[in-house]
Chain A
Amino acid sequence: MSMLDDNLLHADPSIDVHPASGGARPRRADAFGPTPLQREPARTIFQKGAPGRRAFMCPPTDVPGVDGRELLPARFRRTEPPRLPEVSEPEIVRHYVGISKRNFDLDSGFYPLGSCTMKHNPRLHERVAALAGHARLHPLQDAERAQGALELMWSLQGALAEISGLQHVSLQPSAGSHGELAGVLLTRAYHEDRGETRHKVLTPDTAHGTNPATVTMAGLEVVKLESDADGGIDLDDLRAKADSDVACLMLTNPNTLGLFDPNIEEIAAIVHGAGATLYYDGANLNAVMGMSRPGDMGFDIVHFNLHKSFTQPHGGGGPGSGPIATSERIAPFLPRPLVVREDDGTFAFDFDRPKSIGRVRGFHGNYGCFVRAYAYICSLGADGLKDVSEAAVLNANYLLARLQERGVAEHLPLAYGKLCMHEFVLSGGPMKRALAIKTLDLAKRLLDFGFHPPTVYFPLLVDEALMIEPTETETKETLDAFADAIAAILAEAAEDPQVAIGAPYTTPVRRLDEVAAAKHPVIRQALD
């Protein structure tokens, strides 16, 4: 096995050399006592401050005095102010800077979370999104005085159409799952418009959980499709289930195993032959930009995750943005309004869309995300986007190769296939049987090595799954260090599985009791 680089590790004060094992490993709390962050008890902003402290200075009342109780009668009034914190500005800053240090983040280290595309977020995007002309633009500003914003949206619509191969784009949905919901509602509207009632949606067993959840919200019924031995759609199962009740097949391609389905043309033919539509979950678009387009594969509807493929900061769980693109036959049903360019070259909102499913949210979508995605597309251009997918796939395959070296492969075999696209899924089943540590333990031990773990226990059809997406913005050195860490943890587990089972040791808190949290939910700070 390969060992961690001693010089690198010695630069990090949280790392200690264990002479007994002949190698280096992150130190353990039981050997050194709690870290400074572990010694600091978690106190919320509501437990800080004192009566009378404040940060906000209210502008003076500059209008003639009228008794507020006349303007708003007592029966409408709150009797006690909300018990918000009473803190000064320095206290607020110190509090939130303090708790920020209890977060791991992409700017600090490798974050190979599968299907999440944690690629670098250029700071330029934050700068341009913060320009007052974007950031302080009111959504109900008259279109003729928001021409820059409309042009940006129109250009982004065009770029997404070109990248997806589907010509009609609505930017409105707020996130991937919201785009999915819009997409399934579009499918429904399309069939209803043709006088057909189709109530089933096919989703593969590898699908993201949002797919089946969306189907139910759209009032339709989920029918699961089996995967074949190679991890793709089982064509026989698809043929058997693609009947006249099927509205849609929702597919991710490459799928959540990181595999491009080689039968995609036939899948499209079967689905279309049954009169159903083909829906593309764009979560994995990072693998194929400029290489292959959902529209050319036969998809009717696609949603994008701007926060993934087009690099928005993920914000600790949002915001995101989930535009959708469709083929000609689905376009009349898109959410309204769409941005259009008039004959005179000006830009406008088109509300005159009588077959539209209507709005899926307020205003125009997450414009701030559009600014960032557009800036990204401008920076990269056609060649750059293709380079992104090439580098993402290269990095994933290199990391896969490193993790299929002797010492690792026997414990963490690749679940399906030989090569992968932008991500791959290993099975921790053999590791669990031979080394007595689970995928969860491996993930928790990785925390001590300074890495964010991969997505774990997904997709569901892989035993003890580890889903790894390195993205294109990581260096070979980082990929090697991660592979070395995995190898080191496996070697350590062969010696003593308890080390991983007890991990993590160096994080601000150690393993948390999630069962107790769900059993007796405490979801707010108790006051007074």
Chain B
Amino acid sequence: MLQAIGVGSVQEIFDRQIPEAVRLQRALDLPDGVGEQAVYEHLRTLAARNTSAEDELSFLGAGMYDHYVPALIDMLTERSEFLTPYTPYQPEISQGGLQVMFEYQTAISELTGLPVSNASSYEGPSAVAAAGYLAKLHNGGRRFVVSAGLHPHALETVRTHAHGYGVEVVEVALRDGVTDPEQWARAIGPDTSAAIFAQPNFYGAVEDAASLSAAAKAAATGEALDAAGGPPVVVAQVDPMALGILKPPGECGVDVAVGEGQPLGNRLDFGGPSFGFFAAREEYLRRMPGRIAGETVDVDGRRGFVLTLQTREQHIRREKATSNICTAQALNALAGVVYLAWLGRVGIVELGELMLARTHYARERLAGLDGVEKLHSQPVIREFALRLDADVAAVKRRCALDGVNPGVDLQALTGRGEDRGGLLVAITERRSRADIDRLAEVLGVAVAAERGPAAGGSSIGGPAPLADEAVSV
């Protein structure tokens, strides 16, 4: 090979191209390589030092949920034909992947009640930020009005991105667990680019999505609006698993529905990779971010699929692109559409009703414990917030000794003073009545132990001692 190239050594190829001053003159300071078996043992040892949902009775949620992932998803996503190609730049040899995208878009469109979907976004919170960018391109408004019921990671991600594209973010507080309708309407004006809320919201509450959408459109009216470039784009961050029973965003006046796709057949993976979904009304089609598959025919008239509307995209439009997305989450979206086919038209409703019933049972059961109350009384579907009359971190540590993870420490995640004592409990089809009863038993004992005078407990609503350890999320 060297002879064909016309060099004496491989090193010579480098020496002739890289200036000596920027060549690394030593070996990298990394351990030596080892064989497959040794790597496996090392990674297995690290895995064993994590307490996964397999190792404890977990009620963690807050954006990612421990749903059962059917075996056929592993089998299909591990197939070389889906696992190892790249973005379908050559459609003639990528019909499998392109058809998956087309089917995925159809499923997301059905789920959200919105006519157009992209082929996936990175994940939930950055999809919310991407929806904001779409709104900014669409109407040029200078402000996002965002419900405090948005996932705190989404809220922070929107702020990070909006600072880049020069949009101010205004937060609307919650009242009794849902977005305060008066403050919402007041905050939205002619310069509002997007009005963004979550459904159900971060605290588990079902929002009155139709009213929030209508209020957003109504609040921004008048002459000033005409000058501003149009009404705000109403964006909802939606839990896809709730959409078997919940009124779809498209029927609630929502313009763009985005969200975290992990519940749909993707494993937890400590937070990723998963996928974000992004669906919208027709008028936003040419401003959508990311890849979109479209149907067409080949020279012989056969049905086929291609990446389409590519004039939106970075590799064609460069600085004028509607987003910078190149690689998205095709494999995770495949898991998503296979999961939706596996659940099916009837199953997704059954699963929604099951979560609804069990969540209601769990909420009432836990709120009946001494020192535990509901944080709000709004309808909930798969997750609910409680307030403990005890330090949440300490309660969680006690529960852990009994192999139970009772949920997410709300204040640790949101940093909000009013969330002190808050616990967010998630229910999936994997948590049976017996599991919920076990949680009630363990949580009751732990709260009782932590609220005793010796434990430095406090009365509900009063100041509670701060957690004695660093925030751990």
Partner of B107, one of A84, A126, A165: A84
- The digit string for B298-320, where 1 denotes a CB below 8 A from any CB of A, is 11101111101111011111111
Does A177 touch B at the CB level, under 8 Å?
yes
Q: Report B22 CB to chain A, min CB distance, Å.
A: 5
Q: Considering the complex, which residues of chain A in the window 440-476 have a beta carbon less than 8 Å from any beta carbon of chain B? A: 443-444, 447, 452-453, 455, 458, 476
- The digit string for A135-170, where 1 denotes a CB below 8 A from any CB of B, is 111111111111111011000000100110100000
Write 23 A-B pairs (CB below 8 A) sorted by A numbering.
A58-B354, A86-B346, A100-B81, A105-B82, A113-B86, A113-B89, A128-B40, A174-B272, A180-B324, A181-B164, A213-B318, A217-B324, A264-B22, A293-B22, A314-B86, A315-B334, A379-B39, A509-B304, A513-B299, A518-B294, A518-B310, A523-B295, A524-B109
Chain A residues whose CB sits within 8 angstroms of the CB of B268 once the complex forms? 135-139
The reply to whether B164 and A265 contact each other, CB–CB distance below 8 Å, is no
- In the complex, what distance in Å separates the CA atom of A215 from the CA atom of B165? 10
- In the complex, what distance in Å separates the CA atom of A290 from the CA atom of B30? 10
Chain B residues whose CB sits within 8 angstroms of the CB of A219 once the complex forms? 164-166
Does B453 touch A at the CB level, under 8 Å?
no
The reply to whether B298 and A401 contact each other, CB–CB distance below 8 Å, is no
- The digit string for B113-132, where 1 denotes a CB below 8 A from any CB of A, is 00111011011111000000
Q: Report A34 CB to chain B, min CB distance, Å.
A: 8
- Listed stretches B52-60, B139-147, B181-189, B225-233; interface member: B52-60
The reply to whether B60 and A108 contact each other, CB–CB distance below 8 Å, is no
Chain B residues whose CB sits within 8 angstroms of the CB of A222 once the complex forms? 318-319
- Listed stretches A17-25, A354-362, A407-415, A431-439; interface member: A354-362
Does B402 touch A at the CB level, under 8 Å?
no
Partner of B92, one of A56, A288, A508: A508
- Listed stretches B6-14, B214-222, B368-376, B456-464; interface member: B6-14
The reply to whether A77 and B294 contact each other, CB–CB distance below 8 Å, is no
- In the complex, what distance in Å separates the CA atom of A319 from the CA atom of B470? 31
Does B439 touch A at the CB level, under 8 Å?
no
Does A93 touch B at the CB level, under 8 Å?
yes
Chain B residues whose CB sits within 8 angstroms of the CB of A314 once the complex forms? 84-87, 327
Partner of B116, one of A218, A291, A523: A523
Chain A residues whose CB sits within 8 angstroms of the CB of B90 once the complex forms? 104, 443, 447, 452-453
Q: Considering the complex, which residues of chain B in the window 332-386 have a beta carbon less than 8 Å from any beta carbon of chain A? A: 332, 334, 337-338, 340-351, 353-354, 356-358, 360-361, 379, 381
Chain B residues whose CB sits within 8 angstroms of the CB of A335 once the complex forms? 160
- The digit string for B155-171, where 1 denotes a CB below 8 A from any CB of A, is 01101110111100000
Chain B residues whose CB sits within 8 angstroms of the CB of A502 once the complex forms? 299
Does A85 touch B at the CB level, under 8 Å?
yes
Q: Considering the complex, which residues of chain B in the window 370-428 have a beta carbon less than 8 Å from any beta carbon of chain A? A: 379, 381, 396, 400, 405, 408, 413
The reply to whether B22 and A296 contact each other, CB–CB distance below 8 Å, is yes
The reply to whether A139 and B270 contact each other, CB–CB distance below 8 Å, is yes
The reply to whether B52 and A136 contact each other, CB–CB distance below 8 Å, is yes
Does A514 touch B at the CB level, under 8 Å?
yes
Does B291 touch A at the CB level, under 8 Å?
yes
Q: Considering the complex, which residues of chain A in the window 375-420 have a beta carbon less than 8 Å from any beta carbon of chain B? A: 375, 377-386, 390, 393-394, 397-398, 400-402, 419
Contact of A102 with B331 at beta-carbon distance under 8 Å, contacts A134-B270, A219-B165, A521-B294 already known: no
Chain A residues whose CB sits within 8 angstroms of the CB of B22 once the complex forms? 264-265, 292-293, 296-297
Task: For the complex, count residues of A whose C-beta is within 8 A of B.
Answer: 200
Chain A residues whose CB sits within 8 angstroms of the CB of B75 once the complex forms? 93
> How many pairs, one residue from A and one from B, have CB atoms within 8 Å of each other in the complex?
702
The reply to whether A358 and B294 contact each other, CB–CB distance below 8 Å, is no
The reply to whether B153 and A163 contact each other, CB–CB distance below 8 Å, is no
The reply to whether B10 and A390 contact each other, CB–CB distance below 8 Å, is yes
- In the complex, what distance in Å separates the CA atom of A170 from the CA atom of B314? 24
Does A62 touch B at the CB level, under 8 Å?
yes
Q: Report B432 CB to chain A, min CB distance, Å.
A: 6
The reply to whether B315 and A209 contact each other, CB–CB distance below 8 Å, is yes
- For chain B, which range describes its interface: under 10, 10 to 19, 20 to 34, or 35 or more residues? 35 or more
Partner of B91, one of A108, A380, A509: A509
- In the complex, what distance in Å separates the CA atom of A394 from the CA atom of B395? 59
The reply to whether B348 and A510 contact each other, CB–CB distance below 8 Å, is no
- Listed stretches A67-75, A233-241, A323-331; interface member: A67-75
- In the complex, what distance in Å separates the CA atom of A135 from the CA atom of B272? 9
The reply to whether A72 and B405 contact each other, CB–CB distance below 8 Å, is no
Contact of A360 with B160 at beta-carbon distance under 8 Å, contacts A133-B49, A138-B53, A378-B34 already known: yes
- In the complex, what distance in Å separates the CA atom of A68 from the CA atom of B368? 21
- In the complex, what distance in Å separates the CA atom of A393 from the CA atom of B11? 10
- Listed stretches A7-15, A36-44, A485-493; interface member: A36-44
Q: Report A338 CB to chain B, min CB distance, Å.
A: 13
The reply to whether B64 and A82 contact each other, CB–CB distance below 8 Å, is no
- In the complex, what distance in Å separates the CA atom of A146 from the CA atom of B330? 28
Chain A residues whose CB sits within 8 angstroms of the CB of B351 once the complex forms? 56, 58
The reply to whether B81 and A521 contact each other, CB–CB distance below 8 Å, is no
Contact of A132 with B165 at beta-carbon distance under 8 Å, contacts A317-B88, A394-B10 already known: no
Chain A residues whose CB sits within 8 angstroms of the CB of B46 once the complex forms? 133-134, 148-149, 151-152
Chain A residues whose CB sits within 8 angstroms of the CB of B245 once the complex forms? 68, 72, 77-78
Contact of A315 with B126 at beta-carbon distance under 8 Å, contacts A56-B343, A56-B344, A76-B206 already known: no
- The digit string for A30-55, where 1 denotes a CB below 8 A from any CB of B, is 00001000100110111000000111
The reply to whether B50 and A361 contact each other, CB–CB distance below 8 Å, is no
Chain B residues whose CB sits within 8 angstroms of the CB of A384 once the complex forms? 33
Q: Considering the complex, which residues of chain A in the window 272-287 have a beta carbon less than 8 Å from any beta carbon of chain B? A: none
Partner of A104, one of B83, B93, B396: B93
Q: Report A332 CB to chain B, min CB distance, Å.
A: 15
Does A511 touch B at the CB level, under 8 Å?
yes
Chain A residues whose CB sits within 8 angstroms of the CB of B16 once the complex forms? 419
- In the complex, what distance in Å separates the CA atom of A294 from the CA atom of B124? 32
The reply to whether A509 and B5 contact each other, CB–CB distance below 8 Å, is no
Q: Report A395 CB to chain B, min CB distance, Å.
A: 8
The reply to whether B125 and A264 contact each other, CB–CB distance below 8 Å, is no
- In the complex, what distance in Å separates the CA atom of A45 from the CA atom of B75? 17
Partner of A55, one of B120, B342, B381: B342
The reply to whether B32 and A81 contact each other, CB–CB distance below 8 Å, is no
